[in-house]
Amino acid sequence: MKQILQDMAKGGSTIVEAPAPQATKNHVVINTTTTLISAGTERMLVDFGKANLIDKARAQPDKVKMVLEKVQTDGLMTTVEAVKSKLAQPLPLGYCNVGVIDNIGTGVELFQKGDRVVSNGPHADVVRVAKNLVAKIPNNVTDEEASFTVVASIGLQGIRLANPTMGECFVVTGVGLIGLLTVQMLRAQGCRVLAIDFDQDKLELAKAYGAEICNLSMGEDPVAAGMSFSRGAGVDGVIITASTKSNDPVTQAARMSRKRGRIILVGVTGLELSRADFYEKELTFQVSCSYGPGRYDPSYEEQGNDYPLAFVRWTEQRNFEAILDMMSGGQLDVKPLITHRFKFEDASSAYDLLTTDKSALGILLQYDSTPADRHDKSIRLGSTTNYTQSEPVIGFVGAGNYASRMLIPAFKQAGAQFHSIATSGGINGVIHGEKSGFEHATTDTQAMIDNPVINTIAIATRHNSHAYFVEKALKAHKNVFVEKPLAITYEELEVVKSAYYESASSKLMVGFNRRFSPQVQKMKQLLTPIKEPKSFIMTMNAGSIPANHWTQDTSVGGGRIIGEACHFIDLMRYLAGSEVISVQARRMGDSNAVEITEDKAAIILGFADGSFGTIHYLANGAASFPKERIEVFAAGATLQLDNFIKLKGFGWKGFKKLNLWKQDKGQTNCAKAFINSIKSGEASPISAEELFEVAKVTIDVAQQLREQE
């Protein structure tokens, strides 16, 4: 398959070849026939990509604040690397896709292979889209017409929030693509419409759709035009579909509105509001969210859980269907909006036009390649390598944020031989596989695991799949490195244990990198000679994550205790050097609260040698406070480690501090230790028994927190 990506660091749009995505639960795979370039959104992304760092910072002041906070806690060099890594991630373009379903995943009932559909899939000849973001196309609607469905739904959602009634007078400010579609839909609802813009050609289209017009470039006063249009009463509502940094559209909307009028922001404008304008008229102002209820809700979009029609009449998908019905019935005519057509392979010319011709509206990309030729599951990224079979030959499963930023570079720096990288979607594997020197990218994970050339599998997928892939790899007699956690349930842990003991010679390693950091190694060196019990205080200023984030979902991420606090349970186990024999846990919060999460909790561990420690895992602290603080009290001396940058010793003979220029949480040393154990034939850096112990203790903690009354 091929897909368009935007380089957010240097600018430029390119077509990248990747393995075709595989059908997964609640998703369909579509062979694309036509896509529409969303002129406003995509022009903004392309322009942002071409901007220099200073202009990028000016455009995102909220992100600048986050960067400055990260400098305070993690240090300058670590922050610079994180920012560069973020900007180096290419961004898929497009969200207006039309095609034919090629395959369906489990849980998909309303669609079947061969259905002609619209979706919010990107510009790619094969896309995988969640079932609630797909709608069937009526037979009398062409692919080109249907490609306007998603952008029209954005305007439709704004209209639904405005709740117009027949005979009301509405203003549409900014008649680009979405604005012109909004004009038509308001007219279809029996409203009188005034269109405001700077572009006479676009205003002429709005006039052809039945609107009156106001041309700002000719010096016309929009407030006076609105008052005249409303016969002096003030307009009933204003829908702003313009894109500008100016506050003028909102100010003008308020001044031309009648008392208790409605203003809906669909586009992007300045938002310095005048209280007097809104107070005196009791105006309603609302920002519309994309194409309807369900947007950005993982339960709806990813897991396929629809909202009951009786309670949420118009969801994203139902808005798509409504637009298609309007096209089918002739109430929505998009043909005059088509200004340019390009072959998909000539997409670069389309984006050149987009950035140079502001009058362009409907720019279509046409996909003419044979669908059967788009579905290779594996592609070659580099030349064939002669691998040393006595050393680790790595197959990577997963190429998400942590894998691409930390884990893959750590393995590369440790001298790993990369063979293949497997992802379910394909494109991330190509992006990071090419960058890191993998020979192949694939979406056929099982075939990669079974490949006899590959002797080691590294797993960095979502947490609920870790145990599954570990079992598969161990049964294929591969060495396994899995990013934490090892398992998220007792049942999964037992499956992994059985597979490990049956595999005999395979090594198993979990990415508990913190114990391999240079400062923790120094702490271990100082603590080892002390035979008396030790006490530990570990404070994790974890930061807030929304309750609906996948890491908080106990069935997917396992919750933040299993998904992240396991790092510190392992670290305390390592520094204590003794078996955990008791576990106590307490979470913050009212058991009657609507949303209860596990990310504000205290964990007390007792060890066989009499040591004990407390882990404070907290999501309610200040971002400027150190993210991780580790304190150890032993034999009249204390160690304090802040954020893996500054280590202080109090009362230690011959040791006062070990500070680093750059944060080092041990990722490279962890990968190197694992690789060296395979090369040398020595034991794995962490024994399997200790890995299983930490996994069980972590699940015990989570269970206690969930059962707390």
Q: In angstroms, what is the C-alpha Rg of the chain? A: 29
pLDDT of 66 reads 64
pLDDT of 39 reads 83
- Domain coverage including residue 412: 378-513
Q: Which tens digit of pLDDT belongs to each residue from 76-110? A: 666 666 666 665 667 889 999 999 999 999 999 99
Is residue 543 within 8 Å of 619, Cβ to Cβ? yes
> What is the reported pTM?
0.87
User: Distance (Å, rounded) from C-alpha 107 to C-alpha 27?
Assistant: 8
Residue the block writes with tokens 């041990």: 666
546 plus 669 within the same structural domain: yes
535 plus 594 within the same structural domain: yes
Dihedral pair phi/psi, residue 333, rounded to 5°: -110, 110
**DSSP assignment of 484-510, as one string?**
SPS-SSHHHHHHHHHHHHHHSS--EEE
Residue 563 per-residue DSSP state:
I
Is residue 389 within 8 Å of 650, Cβ to Cβ? no
Q: For the ranges 52-56, 480-484, 656-660, which has the lowest average pLDDT?
A: 52-56
In percent, the amount of the chain with pLDDT more than 90 equals 80
Tell me the mean pLDDT in the region 660-689.
95
407 plus 543 within the same structural domain: no
Q: Which of 513, 537, 572 is the last residue of a domain?
A: 513
User: Distance (Å, rounded) from C-alpha 596 to C-alpha 598?
Assistant: 7
Q: Which of 287, 320, 337 is the last residue of a domain?
A: 287
| Tally of CB atoms within 10 A around 157 | 22
548 plus 670 within the same structural domain: yes
Q: Which of 344, 371, 398 is the last residue of a domain?
A: 371
266 plus 322 within the same structural domain: no
Dihedral pair phi/psi, residue 219, rounded to 5°: 80, 10
pLDDT of 597 reads 72
**Number of independent structural domains in the chain:** 4
579 plus 624 within the same structural domain: yes
45 pLDDT exceeds 70? yes
Structure tokens that stand for 643 in this block:
């954020």
Is residue 15 within 8 Å of 4, Cβ to Cβ? yes
550 plus 639 within the same structural domain: yes
Question: Does 292 map to a domain?
Answer: no
Residue type at position 391: E
234 plus 283 within the same structural domain: yes
User: Distance (Å, rounded) from C-alpha 64 to C-alpha 67?
Assistant: 5
594 pLDDT exceeds 50? no
Residue type at position 226: G
**How many Å separate Cα 72 from the centre of its chain?**
25
Higher pLDDT, 486 or 708: 486
163 plus 141 within the same structural domain: no
Tell me the mean pLDDT in the region 31-54.
79
560 plus 664 within the same structural domain: yes
User: Distance (Å, rounded) from C-alpha 573 to C-alpha 591?
Assistant: 30
Q: What is the domain-level CATH number for residue 562?
A: 3.30.360.10
Q: What is the domain-level CATH number for residue 29?
A: 3.90.180.10
Q: Would you tell me the crossing angle of helices 222-229 and 248-256 to the nearest 10 degrees?
A: 30
pLDDT of 385 reads 78
**DSSP assignment of 184-242, as one string?**
HHHHHTT-EEEEEES-HHHHHHHHHTT-EEEEGGGT--HHHHHHHHTTTS-EEEEEE--
347 plus 455 within the same structural domain: no
Average pLDDT, the chain: 92
Dihedral pair phi/psi, residue 4, rounded to 5°: -90, 130
| Tally of CB atoms within 10 A around 304 | 18
Tell me the mean pLDDT in the region 542-551.
87
As to burial, measured by CB atoms within 10 angstroms (0-12 exposed, 13-18 middle, 19+ buried), residue 74 is: buried
125 plus 270 within the same structural domain: no
Is residue 191 within 8 Å of 170, Cβ to Cβ? yes
Q: Which tens digit of pLDDT belongs to each residue from 231-276? A: 999 999 999 999 898 999 999 999 999 999 999 999 999 888 889 8
Higher pLDDT, 235 or 595: 235
